[in-house]
A = this chain, B = another copy of it.
């Protein structure tokens, strides 16, 4: 029998639901060093947390995450809350000797992220592991992209063009949810989805951005207050509040290795639902990916004869592909949730194997620094800003 390891999760909204599915499923598909048990779920409302725990399969409930962190049946803390609470929870958990997996962006500010990275370093010295949950690294197609670049199949990288396009707030009557408030979310499209393309690009290249030039835009400046805070205004209309984050962020950048890059994160790309796209051009080949077709990686091998060259659609479902062999026969297609299963699997292997998982809090901090540089450049006439 495998050794069990208890998990406590904080937060049970969108991210909590998908993390739960990963904790629930991972053992059936991967041969793990440790068997996770879904021990405790914490949330502020006792009733709603209990309901979520029952539905999602958590054995116990806490209404205060500080209690969860103390529990003996919890060895892993999984943080699925908005960004403003990450630092406090993660640092407390690490100090309590719990392994931590934390949703991205690592924090809302560079200062918080620095404190978290410091705590992670200290914890690592005691064998306590931490990981930031950039799940898209675990899309098999993206992992394969990293592999091809690492093997030199693309040669010298010249270009990166990365976009993360959504459209869920194009209606001006969409309410002012927490993701549109700077104090809760840190930033808008930039931190929520821009963080993903920064991490994905740096991951695939195995390289770091050294500077950026940016512009940001908030197309809809005011929105109806969301449920919890809404009310009729004195004039009988809908109360509106200020949108304090960006709707869209566009930036160019340069990588240490010489590649030039363009990035765009927006929630106003009408008709694009979750189009995390990246295209990379190197001296020997190119890659192209779009999460809306997540099982496909497009690869152009420029070393073939020109007459038979072209982007080929690699269906990343072969046994030899990253993660894919654990699932179904070729062509049977994975979905969004499986990327979290892969993430949890890698995290458990690191804990069980006694090594630091990747991406680390340090990696999360570095992404945070890129985001901060983007905001600074956007505030300073798009001037080039070093990272």
In the complex the two chains form, is A252's CB within 8 Å of B215's CB?
yes
In the complex the two chains form, is B14's CB within 8 Å of A28's CB?
no
Known A-B contacts A293-B293, A318-B306; A329 and B168 likewise in contact (beta carbons under 8 Å): yes
A315: Cβ under 8 A from any B Cβ:
yes
In the complex the two chains form, is B328's CB within 8 Å of A18's CB?
yes
Distance between Cα atoms of A384 and B144 in the complex (Å): 38
Contact of A308 among B250, B258, B272, B314 (CB under 8 A): B314
In the complex the two chains form, is A275's CB within 8 Å of B168's CB?
no
Within 8 A of B (CB), among A260-310: 260, 262, 264, 266, 268-275, 279, 281-286, 291-296, 299-302, 305-310
In the complex the two chains form, is A320's CB within 8 Å of B307's CB?
yes
A163: Cβ under 8 A from any B Cβ:
yes
In the complex the two chains form, is A286's CB within 8 Å of B274's CB?
no
Distance between Cα atoms of A170 and B244 in the complex (Å): 44
A356: Cβ under 8 A from any B Cβ:
no
Indicate with 1 or 0, residue by residue over A157-168, a CB within 8 angstroms of chain B CB atoms: 011010100111
Distance between Cα atoms of A311 and B306 in the complex (Å): 16
| Contacting residues, chain B, for A166 (C-beta < 8 A) | 331
In the complex the two chains form, is A260's CB within 8 Å of B25's CB?
no
A108: Cβ under 8 A from any B Cβ:
no
In the complex the two chains form, is A248's CB within 8 Å of B159's CB?
yes
Indicate with 1 or 0, residue by residue over A177-215, a CB within 8 angstroms of chain B CB atoms: 000000000000000000000000000000000000111
Stoichiometry, as copies per complex, reads 4
A217: Cβ under 8 A from any B Cβ:
yes
A55: Cβ under 8 A from any B Cβ:
yes
A60: Cβ under 8 A from any B Cβ:
no
In the complex the two chains form, is B28's CB within 8 Å of A273's CB?
no
Contact of A24 among B25, B55, B266, B307 (CB under 8 A): B25
| Contacting residues, chain B, for A327 (C-beta < 8 A) | 336-337
| Contacting residues, chain B, for A170 (C-beta < 8 A) | 158, 283, 302
Closest residue of chain B to A147 (Cβ to Cβ) is: B307
Distance between Cα atoms of A377 and B148 in the complex (Å): 35
Distance between Cα atoms of A286 and B266 in the complex (Å): 14
Known A-B contacts A18-B328, A168-B329, A260-B217; A269 and B292 likewise in contact (beta carbons under 8 Å): no
Number of residues from A at the complex interface, CB < 8 A: 95
Distance between Cα atoms of A377 and B382 in the complex (Å): 10
Known A-B contacts A215-B213, A252-B252, A383-B381; A312 and B315 likewise in contact (beta carbons under 8 Å): no
In the complex the two chains form, is A283's CB within 8 Å of B262's CB?
no
Closest residue of chain B to A261 (Cβ to Cβ) is: B250
Within 8 A of B (CB), among A327-364: 327-338
A174: Cβ under 8 A from any B Cβ:
no
Closest residue of chain B to A285 (Cβ to Cβ) is: B270
Min Cβ gap A47→B in Å is 15
Distance between Cα atoms of A135 and B292 in the complex (Å): 22
Chain A residues engaging chain B, CB cutoff 8 angstroms: 14, 17-18, 20-21, 24-25, 27-28, 55-57, 144, 148, 158-159, 161, 163, 166-168, 170, 213-215, 217, 219, 248, 250-252, 254, 258, 260, 262, 264, 266, 268-275, 279, 281-286, 291-296, 299-302, 305-315, 317-321, 327-338, 377, 381-384
30 residue pairs from A and B, CB less than 8 Å apart: A17-B28, A25-B25, A158-B248, A158-B270, A159-B269, A161-B163, A167-B281, A168-B329, A213-B215, A213-B381, A213-B382, A215-B260, A250-B260, A251-B252, A269-B281, A270-B302, A271-B300, A272-B281, A274-B333, A275-B331, A299-B308, A307-B318, A310-B314, A311-B312, A313-B313, A332-B335, A333-B336, A377-B382, A382-B382, A383-B384
